[in-house]
A and B are shown apart, each in its own frame.
Chain A
Amino acid sequence: MYNRKIRGPLIEGNKTLGQITEDVINPMDVSPGMWWFLAFGLASAAAVFGAYCIYITVYKGIGTWGVNNSVAWGWAIVNFVWWIGIGHAGTAFSIFLLILRQRWRTSINRAAEAMTVFAVISAALFPALHMGRIWLAFYIFPYPNTRGPLWVNFNSPLFWDFTAITAYLLISVSFWYLGMLPDLATIRDKTISKIRKTLYGFFSLGWTGSSRHWIRYESLSFVLGGIAAVLVVSVHSIVATDFAVGIEPGWHSTIFPPFFVVGAIFSGFAMVMTLMVIIRKVYKLTDYITDNHMDAIARILIFISLIMGTAYLTEVFVAWYSGNEYEMFTFFRNRITGDYKIQFWGMVVCNALIPQLFWFKKMRRNWMGLLFVSLSINVGMWLERFNIVITSLTKDFLPSNWVSYTPTVIDIGVFAGTVGLFGVGVLLFMRYIPMMAISELKGVAHIGSKIED
């Protein structure tokens, strides 16, 4: 067929169905290489340091961070928005590519969804930690209470934020976990270890693979997918309202919700790419995650990168066009030329310029190139959040309140800790959970395999 000739096979190497199962489950049966233990050690060390920094934060107070009475939100919120953005990838992969009938997603979506879960958990740590009185965090829950009853402020974007993140976390965890049921059952059936059998047996929720199970499984996936599709858009739109509802120059902007959603997908896809480049390299899964897959992600990235570039230009243009002197100052004298020009231009270069390398086929098919671009997008997206959150706060309306912001060791430690936590999660995922949806892979196993004729 026409499109088969253009796209190559989705899975290379003419695998049999049995081989697919073997290939996916194999990493869980054999001992991982030294690199795994090394990486796990590093990630755990970062996570432990992060835990120590969190302990200091909670024990002593947020004073241990670099925030102050002008810049009340610092690295914590930057990291939160960044992680939430990354946390978009999995669901976006599953849902948007499903809607767009991109069946190549099957070999990637499981890992992407796992990444979502760990990223959202990392993200959710920050809003909790940056509360002055974390022990009263439950005040933000809307439930009939004995405090009056005092209700939350439904006008506050932070409350919307809380609801959106909670909903997103619940849905993405369910989506990821329930999607794994057939594969967990496969491992249960194949493994000879008693402990594994019991554990995987428990977590596969009695999956037998009967048609009835499959029918329910499909309809559940459909329902959850439908909800998640909405949430992907809503979560980051709502995170964007944290800023857009604010009065600060550089925040108070209607472009933010779509801008944030696109940015989130951008950083999420970049993170997926980073992980995939590594996974296919170390696990030699190039037959499943083919060069064509990477090529497709790269093309998506270049497209989004153009949107991002346009958004940056639009922001600057609107600041100028509005004639609002506070906006003008924030964009032209604080971001583009001022104290934060490195962060601003770093963002532009990393997000709008470097991804343009993907116009070259060589870059799209070279793992070094892919890794370089995807990492720079991740850095760029972090800088973008830094630009939005911090530069606006440092110099806003009254010059008497202008300050500069520097993070402390604790700030950096908490961030490193979440990176470690994310790493630990991903490494454990690689080791104990099938990295690809076996059943779905089998569904696409023979697409495009007769390319030669």
Chain B
Amino acid sequence: MKKNRKDQEEFDGLIPFNDENSEASNDDQILELLGSDFVRRGTSRRDFLKVLGFSFASAAVLASCKRPVLNALPYVVQPPEITPGKALYYASSYFDGHEYSGILVKTRDGRPIKIEGNSLCSFNKEGTTARVQASVLSLYDDTRLKSPSEDGNQVSWDSIDAKIIAGLAEINSQGGGIVLLTSSILSPSTIRLINEFGGRFRNFKWVQYDAISYSAILQANDICFGKPVIPDYHFENASVVVSVNADFLGTWIAPVHFIPGYAARRKLDNGEKDMVKHIHFESGMSLTGANADIRKKIRPSEEKILLVDLYNKIADKTGAEKFPGIPFKEDLADLADKLIASKGKSIVVSGTNNVEIQIIVNGINNLLDSYTECIDLNNNLNIASGIDSKMDGLVNDLNNGNVKALLMYNVNPVYDYPDANKFLTGLKSTELTVNMSDRMNETVGECKYECPVNHFLELWDDAEIIPGQLTLSQPCISPIFDTRQFQDSLLKWSGNTMVYHDYLIANWQKSYYPSSGFSDSGKFWNTVLGNGVYSYKVTAGKPLSFQKEGLIKAFKAPAVVHAEGFEVDITESVSLGTGMHSNNPWLMELPDPVSRQCWENVAAISKSDAEKLNLQTGSLVKLAEGLILPAFIQPGQAEGTISAALGYGHTNSGPVCNNVGVNLYPFIKISNGNRLFNFDTDKVENTLKQTKLALSQEHYSMEGRPIVRETVLSEYRNNPSSGNELHEEFEKSHDTLYPDVKYDGFHWGVSIDLNSCVGCNACVIACQAENNIPVVGKDEVIRKRIMHWIKIDRYYSDTPDDPKVYFQPLACQHCDNAPCENVCPVSATNHSSEGLNQMTYNRCVGTKYCINNCPYRVRRFNWYRYTNNKAFDFNSASDLGKMVLNPDVTVRERGVVEKCSLCVQRIQEKKLQAKLENRTIADYEIKTACMQACPSEAIVFGNLNDEKSKVSKLYADPRRYNLLEELHTLPSIGYLTKVRNDEKLNT
């Protein structure tokens, strides 16, 4: 890593400072800033005596104090690229086997402390998700495996390698089966390495296994187009999107990739007068359903009926062949008309893992010509490659004794394979078992050998998410523990003396350098590494033609029959995903965007069903044998269905997640070789027990208050300020006896577009990581003491049966006439000359008056000491966990109030830099953490005094209003009205 730094800086635009500046002495710069008053003078006798007296006094005082033991050690030889206090950014990539992002890693003094999106990576741009933001904390997790072990005893790498090599050789000599079981892998170099590794054995198999798989899409595309891939969906080109249980903004395939496109089609501030029309069918209320223009409830068993009927309606109107099918409960002619009207600009997606349904979806998309602009099968997404039946085959092979050696990497089947016991039995009977995991999980300890792997911030790798679009991963810290990356282990076990770093470079020199146009291979590598991204042109394949045969078969296949009772929909949780990050306290305490509840999974049930069973939110309900969950009355839940999230119920994955919630993987059923994420049950019963849920928001109605203002597209076209009439009225009434506040230099402000904010929660975790926000635990969340500085409020309107949903990010409003400021008796909160409402922590005595007097209630109190306190044993209680802390932000003491500072540390950093360079600050140069993380670019920060800045333009938009503006608090946060692409305005 280090040896490449210097060269990298030469090419790399990402490093926020250049060599010229870092060469100038810091002292000179500081002296310059202090100005001419700060001149050294001669020492007079009086000064000498003063200093002498002061030294004696302070020596006496200091000597009498007990000083804390600090473990920070200075560099003996300081690396030239590191200036203490200055952050370095390294381009890398995030891939955990389930989710991918091109990232920049911010390091301070050698510690990665924050992850940002890599704007050069076209896949996600600067956007990230909550899970990506939180992944930096997983680096400093105490449950990470710290050294290799054999049968639970710590051993050295040399001895474990010798044994594994010998074991593999022996099995190979007998021709025994050797299987490598990994999560999906999208690294071309690793794939090459695995193939080389496998080539050494007579009977080798590589199985990729995804806990939450997209097997059906892969298979359907194989059947329809002869290409087993997940296509890329271009929501930015779509005018109509129909989604059936596909939560593409929250969890489905790659939300970080889909949100920007989708949000771009919902922005109206750029003069655009049209918006995507989004129609959503689903059982539980998902994040995507919450954002839809029209949302309809269906049971999982109705998916096929719906799609068959839709296919026939479209076929009818386009003159294509129709298939027999029963009509859906609602008339779909209108929907079909809409889709046909925007032929070529429409997308139909389904989240099911049923191959027949996915084939019908492909059929519909084919009728609608979606494969031209909106769905791209050639530049497909490599994100998931696991085929469910292959994993099932492996489990059978393990039990049959066909497999003699099993090497596992980044998988946790003991937790997430539906028939975990069968897997375990097979595993136990296998001769040589090796597990490669980076942290404790249920599978760890079940194998003979544990070969712990590095965290993704400690390793070299590459990734090809879309053919031709590559990113590199580079280590941003040397391995904290005695771990070794998976690829290095494979190289070692193949008898290769190379380390993976060299292997990677060699592979790139061979595969990509010749066609890169660079004249020097060193320069090529350094440029790519500095930028983190590399793309090459993929020769366009011949246009794929749709094969009808599969479709005919799919229609013939019997429809899913729904039994009596409830259908339970098993969903992925936005915060925890597959459950592999469950021990991350940031994610565990991240409220679900829709239910606003954390620290547990719940059974979401409709109001009418809950009344039938006499359930309240918090009643424990039994769904099946061994499955008791707290009920949660979810507005918009389809009647007869219950939704519950995966990712909880760990037994051995660390103190944060063990015994939290219930594991739903065992309830996944396998049908036609694919895992189906729903099951029927007729045993739903009320256990008559009650529990308290950690809800971060309890009231869901806006009570008719103009909090989220909305309109519909047709109204908006007539009058851009429709829905926002109150704004003008309130503007007139801002009379005051006091002089207007004037800001001479900057006046920082933020604009939040409620129309493009999808509520994904990335900003919440980005803020938590940037601002050292503590995790408080379930009990404290129940007591309404969650600390997030920015939260996304969720409101419902209309009826609980068919609600409309609103998201509203809420942080400190930085009011110019702030009610919190004048009530603090000790002036701990006050206004800056740039319009920031600032908190002076060391001045605060904790009267909490400011919290009461903030009409937005965005101030948070440190009710306990959340740092170094074993009662709050999360990341800030351990030395390792505290490594993630941002040194630019004070860790708050017990008893003080804190709140959003608009990332004042970032503002100051850029201001100082601009001052040194004697220039003004450009728009978008300063980005708050929430703005930077937002994949939909809904949050824009900037200078309101600069008329040309984006935020000023958004402030001038007729859709802009301020929250509770009638109170004359004059906030610096503006909201843009929500515009639904719907016909009628709801009242």
Give A residues with C-beta under 8 Å from B: 60-63, 66-70, 72-73, 127, 130-134, 136-137, 139-140, 150-153, 155-159, 162, 242, 245-248, 325, 329, 393, 395-404
**In whole angstroms, what is the CA distance A404 to B782 when docked?**
11
Interface residue? B786 (CB, 8 A) = yes
Contact A399 B702 (CB under 8 A): yes
Q: What A residues does B793 contact at CB under 8 A?
A: 398, 400
Contact B823 A246 (CB under 8 A): yes
Contact A156 B825 (CB under 8 A): yes
Contact B865 A61 (CB under 8 A): yes
Q: What B residues does A130 contact at CB under 8 A?
A: 847-848
Q: What B residues does A151 contact at CB under 8 A?
A: 827
**Stretch binding the partner chain, chosen from B541-549, B851-859, B930-938:** B851-859
The 8 closest A-B pairs by CB, nearest first: A132-B846, A132-B895, A63-B863, A72-B848, A400-B793, A72-B851, A68-B784, A158-B825
Contact B845 A139 (CB under 8 A): yes
Given A61-B863, A152-B827, A393-B852: A247 and B967 interface contact (C-beta under 8 Å): yes
**Chain B positions 679 through 719: 1 when the CB is less than 8 Å from some CB of chain A, otherwise 0:** 00000000000000000011111111101000000000000
Interface residue? B40 (CB, 8 A) = no
Q: What A residues does B56 contact at CB under 8 A?
A: none
Given A60-B864, A150-B827: A398 and B857 interface contact (C-beta under 8 Å): yes
**Residue from A62, A133, A150, A325 within 8 A of B705 (CB atoms):** A325
Interface residue? B819 (CB, 8 A) = yes
Interface residue? B33 (CB, 8 A) = no
Q: What A residues does B865 contact at CB under 8 A?
A: 61
| Closest Cβ neighbor of B872 among chain A residues | A63
Q: What A residues does B843 contact at CB under 8 A?
A: 139, 150
Q: What B residues does A155 contact at CB under 8 A?
A: 822-823
Q: What B residues does A162 contact at CB under 8 A?
A: 825
Interface pairs (29), CB distance under 8 Å: A60-B864, A61-B865, A62-B846, A69-B859, A69-B861, A70-B857, A72-B852, A132-B845, A132-B848, A132-B861, A132-B895, A133-B895, A140-B825, A140-B845, A153-B824, A153-B826, A153-B827, A157-B823, A158-B849, A159-B825, A246-B853, A248-B855, A397-B855, A398-B705, A398-B963, A398-B964, A399-B703, A400-B794, A403-B784
**Residue from B825, B844, B963 within 8 A of A132 (CB atoms):** B844
Contact B785 A68 (CB under 8 A): yes
**Chain B positions 817 through 845: 1 when the CB is less than 8 Å from some CB of chain A, otherwise 0:** 00100111111000000000000000111
Contact B703 A248 (CB under 8 A): no
Q: What B residues does A247 contact at CB under 8 A?
A: 819, 853, 855, 967
Q: What A residues does B845 contact at CB under 8 A?
A: 131-134, 136-137, 139-140
Most buried by B among A130, A140, A242, A397: A397
Contact B707 A131 (CB under 8 A): no
Chain B: number of interface residues, binned into ranges: 35 or more
Given A132-B845, A151-B827, A396-B855: A68 and B783 interface contact (C-beta under 8 Å): yes
Interface residue? B862 (CB, 8 A) = yes
| Closest Cβ neighbor of B823 among chain A residues | A156
Contact A402 B699 (CB under 8 A): yes
Q: What A residues does B697 contact at CB under 8 A?
A: 400
Q: What A residues does B534 contact at CB under 8 A?
A: none
**In whole angstroms, what is the CA distance A248 to B698 when docked?**
20
**In whole angstroms, what is the CA distance A162 to B826 when docked?**
12
Q: What B residues does A403 contact at CB under 8 A?
A: 698, 784
Q: What B residues does A67 contact at CB under 8 A?
A: 848, 863
Interface residue? B249 (CB, 8 A) = no
Give me 20 other A-B pairs in contact (C-beta within 8 A), A132-B847, A152-B825, A159-B825 excluded: A61-B862, A61-B863, A61-B864, A63-B864, A69-B859, A72-B851, A73-B848, A132-B861, A132-B862, A132-B895, A133-B896, A139-B843, A153-B822, A158-B824, A162-B825, A397-B705, A399-B702, A400-B699, A401-B857, A404-B698
Query: For chain B residues 892-908, which have a beta carbon within 8 Å of chain A?
Result: 893-897
Interface residue? B296 (CB, 8 A) = no
Most buried by B among A155, A156, A393, A396: A156
**In whole angstroms, what is the CA distance A329 to B704 when docked?**
11
Shortest CB distance B696–A (Å): 9
Interface residue? B780 (CB, 8 A) = yes
Most buried by B among A136, A150, A401: A401
**In whole angstroms, what is the CA distance A150 to B895 when docked?**
20
**Residue from B701, B823, B827, B893 within 8 A of A399 (CB atoms):** B701
**In whole angstroms, what is the CA distance A155 to B827 when docked?**
9
**In whole angstroms, what is the CA distance A156 to B853 when docked?**
12
Interface residue? B795 (CB, 8 A) = yes
Q: What A residues does B857 contact at CB under 8 A?
A: 69-70, 396, 398, 401
**In whole angstroms, what is the CA distance A153 to B829 when docked?**
10
Interface residue? B810 (CB, 8 A) = yes
